[in-house]
Structures are given as structure tokens and as C-alpha cells.
Amino acid sequence: MSILVDRNTRVVVQGITGKEGAFHTRQMTAYGTQVVAGVTPGKGGQEMDGIPVFDTVEEAVSKQEANTSIVFVPSRFALDAMVEAAEAGVSLVVCITEGIPVHDMLRAFPLVRSYGTRLIGPNCPGLISPGKAKVGIMPGDVFTPGPVGIISRSGTLTYEIAHHLSQAGLGQSTVIGIGGDPVVGSTYADLLPLLAEDAETEALVLVGEIGGTAEEEAADWIAAHLHIPVVAYIAGFSAPPGKRMGHAGAIVSGGEGTAEAKAARLEQRDIPVARTPAQVSELLEGRRR
């Protein structure tokens, strides 16, 4: 099995008629994902490549039985879009939008959760269960079905590491990009228990970067609860303190959040840390022997 998305996932795309929404809708449907509806206020009754467009998520859920939303709306509308999807009853919201103000996320997170909805993102590539469904912007051709789960704060590093794993014959069960903003809807700690319960996931790759303490917290949880091979990669060993690198959350401040500190905690918990993306597959093969 996989976690969060599979062949039964029915997706509504918020912002489907925009440039990014339309492009990635086509990529998702080409991969085999069931995109059953789109939402653009004021364009209800139209279609995009045969996919019905509605004015509200509530209509998409009621008429097309959508159970998952992916958000491609501009940052100033993202808060309302996420909350609207949760209010409509979808179980999963994947927010691709970047540049959402932190205070908007501080409002969105508890509201979305109060409806029992899980949020992935924002500023993330989404997630994929190879061979089953992808809900996001990940390039499907670098992923192959298999036993390795991946949780990552990075987008492009996820693709590169998955490619190396696939080349080594290590396919993936579920790959989740949680996003690199300071406030995200689901952290490593939120998602690790799901992968721990997934019989199809026999190994795990944790992809982190500088900033915050999420990787250290994940290392502690893994050491206490997870009994499968785990390998990590941390981006940012050469990052200067106080300078944001890539994501809004990737910044070392007050001596916390360095790549060295994260690697030290992981290695203390018997989780080897690769120094290059290509080394991840080598370390994982060694752990699985």
C-alpha cells in the first residue's frame, strides 16, 4: 500500500485555469492520477481538457466526489483556498503555492486541522506514490515503485535522490515534499508514523536542509519508534550563518539549525548522513544488507 494518495485518490485542482494549474493538471492526468474537477471562481460550468470546472470546492466534492485538493492559486488567495477545501470535507490539501506570508500560515494551519484535514506544504512539490498517483509537480519519470519512503524539505533534491535510488534498483513507496517554509502543514514528525505503519515501506530516506530543528526531532522519533533502515541527506554544509539559502525556512540563526548540528544528531541516533545525493543510495544499500 501507499500513504495519503493512491489509485483511488480523486483530485480537485484549485486554480486549474491558471497557467501553472493547467500545466500540472495535464502532467498529473498523464501520470494516471484521477483529476476529477477544477475550481476557479467565476468560471463554473467551463471545462479544461474535459475536466469540469466549478466555482467552489464544495461543488467539486458534492458532484465529483473529490477527496483531495491541490492548490495553485496566487499567494494572496492561498489562505482562503486551503480553508475552503478543508471546509468542503476533503481529507488532504496539497498547497504548491510559494510566497505565502507566515502569518497566513499561522492562521491556516489550525483552521485546516480543525476540520480533520491533513495539509502538505505550502511551497512544496507535493507527493507521489509511484505507479499509482502523483499530486504535485514532481517529474514522474524519475520515480519507480518500490520499498523506500522519502520525506523531504527540498524539491529538486528529492528528484535527484529518487533518480539515484531508482538507478540503483531501489524504488519508492511514497515520496512527500513537505516544503521549506518556516511553517508547514505537516512535519517529519507528523508523517513518520504513517510510513512506520506502512507494510510496503521497508526503508526511509530523510532529506533535510539548514534551519529549524525538524531534522533533530525526526531523528529522536526514529530512534525511539522506527525499526527499518534510515539514511539522511542534509543540504547546506557550506551555508554562511544568517543568510537564507533557497527556502524561507533555510536559515541558520543563533547557532541553531546548522547542517553540522543536524548531521551530528542524526548520526548519534545511528542514522548515517550522506554528503552527496548520489551517496544516499550507497548508504541505503549498505544498511539493507
Which residues make Cβ contacts (< 8 Å) with residue 110, sequence separation at least 6?
none
184 has pLDDT over 60: yes
Which CATH superfamily hosts domain 10-120? NAD(P)-binding Rossmann-like Domain (3.40.50.720)
Give CA angle at 66 (27, 54), nearest 5°. Answer: 80
- Tallying the residues shown for the chain, one arrives at 289
In the chain, ranges of CATH 3.40.50.720 domains: 10-120
* Pairing assessment for the beta strands 126-129 and 133-136 based on DSSP bridges: antiparallel
Q: Which CATH number fits domain 139-288: 3.10.129.10, 3.10.110.10, 3.30.930.10, 3.40.50.261?
A: 3.40.50.261
Residues assigned a catalytic role: 247
- Give the strands of the sheet with 172-177, arranged side by side: 133-136, 126-129, 172-177, 145-152, 203-209, 230-235, 273-274
H or E stretch covering 151? strand 145-152
In the chain, ranges of CATH 3.40.50.261 domains: 139-288
* Pairing assessment for the beta strands 203-209 and 145-152 based on DSSP bridges: parallel
Residue 27: pLDDT band by 50, 70, 90 thresholds?
Answer: very high
**pTM score, two decimals?**
0.93
Residue 286: pLDDT band by 50, 70, 90 thresholds?
Answer: confident
227 has pLDDT over 60: yes
Read off the C-alpha cell for 179: 516544503
Read off the C-alpha cell for 100: 505565502
Which residue from 51, 44, 52, 47 is spatially nearest to 28, judged by alpha carbons? 51
Q: Give the per-residue pLDDT at 258.
A: 87
